Structure 1
């Protein structure tokens, strides 16, 4: 029995030794390998990790700061309106006997455009004209007889009154006839017609629209703060979507009161419409010059980095990037005004900014004077 226990004990010790040698020896080797590092000597590897190699210089473009003159401008929107625009309607009802215009063509002031049936009125006018001829003859004879004292003054005045009454009747009929003839109220371009020959025309039926857009009217609104710099005779520049040309307009009228909701005032200007490039109802982008700043610093927008409380730029100083906090003001499409933080002669980094950190070494690729 004792021999059996001794054998069991020895086997257990052997198994324990094998397990220890299998696991604990491998962990020790791994720990030693990690401590030693790739080239052996763990302390040396840690030193490299802290010191490291210095990052290569960043190639940048520099802009030398100098004072420039700049126009303080704002962009606002406006609408192109016709100088004159009217929807033609008839003052009387009746069948259309003639249409004397072609759609989309130019018409002149007073030109006959549409005629409504008026034969009955023409007949009445002829009848009254005949009565007028007779009344004139009677009045002329009575005038001669009055001078010879052959008739009384009352008889002459009666014939004169009758003549004047017939003239008034003729004027009324002529006015009625004129209402059956629709004429152009001003020169312009007539649009699409909504009536046809022979159709019945009533005073509520729109015939066509006449538009005069030379010159064109430009209507826009200006914020209250800019009222002192705009007035009658002021010049404004504007562009439209359908043309690359820049147009000029002259202010001729300003609304006397501000809009209570937007605190803006409506301004209207006229613009020559050379080549008929301006169309009524189109959108206009207006560039309004407020004033000119004679000396200031302007940088490309991409050179100024927004910060939480301010903005900063990087300045080239002794081969490294130096962060400089700046104060900005006026902005344009491509540039921003620097009012504090820079001076003439500073070299501002305008490219490669993504790779730059404070104290980064810089390599000058290009200098913009």
Structure 2
């Protein structure tokens, strides 16, 4: 019995002892679980620099053809609103919108029945007068009438003959002709409508020869000559077309101070449309043995134009002085030398002294490679055209 009491007294003390012994072990386990997440912050030496992939172009010298760009709408050289010379009701549409016509070919025909009746009447009258003249001449030969009577008979017949010719011309004018070879682009009257003399009834233009009219500055006009070839790019057309400088203005426009220039384009298959905007490039001069780089490789900084070059495994920002440009290329007057490795792809993501990995080398002057997809080349050209338009 005494032993039983003793055991009951010992149990609370044993539980406390066990708890006291287990507590340090539990704390150690908890501390051990947290230790791995804290370890990297204590041992990390800083962020690891990642190399940027770039494409480089070895800078060289080449010829650069500098050109003048002339922008303006493309229009037909000849276009005319056709007016009716004779009045009457529109009887027939011979050549309608979209039809090709030759010079002198009838476009519209007016009702000429009234004129036909007048012509028949005058012809009958003229026949009678001619017969009368013959009789008066016989009488004059016989001395039975005076010379004055003969002259009056002849004059009356001549007036009637002139009236007949006038009516015949008016009848011809009821067929409204095309003034030159071309295309009917519009018609303003409907069959059955009464047309007044002088009313505009149709429009014809010559679509086979087009012109682009623009203007150039006084610095550029001295380089442009009549007969010089031009390369014309048109909105909505993939391929450029050839043109010729037809005319250069002698006098500057008082408002703009620029000189007008006209470029002629041949359009035998009617592939070109009037009204589209065209950009013609006329060669100004050829610069020999200059450092020329892709304009897309040039960055704009607060200090001016700059490019990235690669030396070793580092990219270096190099400020450059630019010269004339041509299309996708621009001349560099200062800041680059032949043999420098110019970054042409990936340069927009670089910073000074950035770590780079040269993964590609350009094989073309414009910074491209033979393996570039067409979409890349077109996008580069499109971006370049947009930059030119904004300047």
**TM-score normalized by structure 2?**
0.70
Match of 1:250, SS state, is: strand
CA distance, structure 1, for counterparts of residue 324 and residue 362 of structure 2: 22
Aligned twin of 1:177: 171
Partner of 2:221: 227
1:86 counterpart = 2:80: yes
2:118 alignment counterpart: 124
Aligned residues: 324
Residue matched to 1:292: 286
Matched, 1:200 2:212: no
Could you say which residue in structure 2 is the equivalent of 1:26? none
The equivalent of 2:157 in structure 1 is 163
Contact 2:315–2:350 (CA<8 Å) still a contact in 1? no
Q: What displacement does 1:190 show?
A: 1.7
Task: Tell me the CA shift for residue 250 of structure 1.
Answer: 1.8
1:186 aligns with 2:180: yes
Partner of 2:83, secondary structure, is coil
What is the deviation of 1:69? 0.8
Moved more, 259-268 or 347-356: 347-356
Instruction: Call closer, same or farther: CA 1:208–1:333 in 2, change over 3 Å.
Output: same
Give the alignment of 1:271-290 within 5 angstroms: 271-290=265-284
- Give, in whole Å, the separation in 1 of the partners of 2:115 and 2:47: 107
Where 1:258 maps in the other structure, the secondary structure is coil
Displacement of 1:325 in angstroms is: 3.0
Deviation larger for 141-150 or 72-81: 141-150
Matched, 1:65 2:59: yes
**For residue 357 of structure 1, what is the aligned residue in structure 2?**
352
DSSP 3-state at the match of 2:337: coil
> 2:306 matched to which residue of 1?
312
Aligned in 2, Cα 1:59/1:85: closer, same or farther, shift over 3 Å?
A: closer
Encode CA deviations 1:56-87: one digit per residue, 9 max, x unaligned: 66554432221111111243322121232222
User: Cα 1:213–1:345, aligned 2, differ >3 Å: closer, same or farther?
Assistant: same
**CA offsets 1:214-247 (integer angstroms, 9 cap, x no match):** 1222222222321112232122111222321221
Q: Deviations over 1:288-340 (max 9, x none)?
A: 32221121111233433333333333444466545443211223553332101
2:263 equivalent among 247, 251, 269: 269
The match for 1:13 is none
Change (3 A) 1:301 1:185: closer
CA distance in 1 between counterparts of 2:253 and 2:242 reads: 26
1:97 to 91, 101, 112: 91
CA contact (8 A) 1:58 1:356 kept: no
Mean CA deviation greater in 134-143 or 290-299: 134-143
Contact 1:254 1:267 in 2 (8 A): yes
Aligned 8 A contact 1:243 1:277 in 2: no
The two structures, once aligned, show a CA RMSD in angstroms of: 3.5
CA distance in 1, matches of 2:115, 2:257: 56
2:337 is the alignment partner of 1:343: yes
Partner SS for 2:238: strand
Q: Deviations over 1:6-62 (max 9, x none)?
A: xxxxxxxxxxxxxxxxxxxxxxxxxxxxxxx989xx9xx9xx98xx79956655443
Q: Does 1:213 align with 2:191?
A: no
Cα 1:148–1:233 change in 2 (3 A) is farther
**Counterparts of 2:293 and 2:183 in 1: how far apart (Å)?**
49
Change (3 A) 1:155 1:116: same
Q: Please, which of 315, 320, 326 is the counterpart of residue 326 of structure 1?
A: 320
- In the alignment, structure 2 segments of 5+ residues that lack a partner are 1-37, 364-391
In 2 relative to 1, CA 266–175 (structure 1 residues): closer, same or farther, beyond 3 Å?
A: same
